Amino acid sequence: MIHMRQTPVHQVPGVQPLVLDSPHSGVAYPVDFDYACDLAVLRQAEDTHVEKLYDFAPALGVAWVEAHFPRSYLDANRGTTEMDVTLLDAPWPHPVATDPRVLSKVKLGKGLIWRTTDDGVPLYSRKLSVAEVEARIANCWKPYHAAVAQAIDAAHARHGYSIHLNCHSMPAVASQFSTGFPGEKHADFVIGDREGTTASPALSALICGHLKSLGYDVAYNHPYKGVELVRRYGQPAAQRHSIQVEVNRKLYMNEQTLEITDGFAALQASLRSLVALLLRTDPRAL
């Protein structure tokens, strides 16, 4: 873990129709975070080592976008209207979501700015100012989304279609405040396309089938359907396909110590085979 004095977003351009992004693997904690909980507890929120799992992708010509900032500071996979106004010391002057489906995550403490950890531990012992939240959006959310949008636009312009994988990791067992299914044991992979609205269902089925053929337990749209990054950039009718890929942390790391385990190499080889498959796949032919 380091304090963030570097650029908040790392981007590698690509030449292929495939774009990968990792919004939650950042470990550069900004100096203005001023959190009140234990750092070891806070780090459980990270999609730790996801950027390492896919570090082979740029050499294959695949575009890569990665957040350096941690998701607990600002969650780039949430919309800017998913604001928990109870965190603030003054009224929020911008639009706030009213959709109950969106607000369910905000109520769990997992809005754009996190209020609690997955286990319900408060992040702050103070109220946040409107100005500091606006600064987080300007310095982190906007550059991250601009980088993802640019990479997808470039891939689509070059090939006539784009495939975007939004890369995440998940705990082996759902925490109390992480999803609407606390205590649920997660599959090895969860593939999400918001019920076929952000990608061709045939493309999602291809991904699920490939992972199952490698021996993995794969779930589809449960308990993770995909959130802001696939919702915002997935337009399957325009041949812009966005799919969220959740991988179980038990496959490659120790969830308590965050150390990489012996399973890492085998999982990375499987992910490499998935990327190779997608590089051979034109979703217009499915």
Q: What does the pLDDT look like over 118-162, one tens digit per residue? A: 889 999 999 999 999 999 999 999 999 999 999 999 999 999 999
Per-residue pLDDT, averaged over 250-273, amounts to 97
Band of the pLDDT at 62, cuts 50, 70, 90?
very high
pLDDT of residue 100: 82
> Is 80 exceeded by the pLDDT of residue 1?
no
pLDDT of residue 48: 95
pLDDT of residue 144: 98
Nearest to 193 by CA among 256, 266, 245: 245
CA–CA separation, 204 and 152 (whole Å): 18
In Å, what is the CA distance from 56 to each residue of 9, 31, 145, 231?
A: 18, 31, 22, 26
CATH value at residue 108: 3.40.630.40
In Å, what is the CA distance from 235 to each residue of 6, 157, 192, 194, 212?
A: 33, 14, 14, 12, 26
Helices 264-279 and 201-213 sit at what angle, rounded to 10 degrees?
140
Per-residue pLDDT, averaged over 231-250, amounts to 98
Residues 6 or more apart in contact with residue 278 via CB below 8 angstroms: 18, 163, 165, 207
> Is 90 exceeded by the pLDDT of residue 177?
no
Do residues 87 and 127 lie in contact, with contact meaning Cβ atoms separated by under 8 Å?
yes
What is the number of other CB atoms lying within 10 angstroms of the CB of residue 160?
11
Which residues constitute the domain of residue 219?
A: 2-285
pLDDT of residue 61: 98
pLDDT of residue 80: 97
Cα 252 from chain centre? 17
Number of domains in the chain: 1
* pLDDT tens digits for range 72-94: 999 999 999 999 999 999 999 99
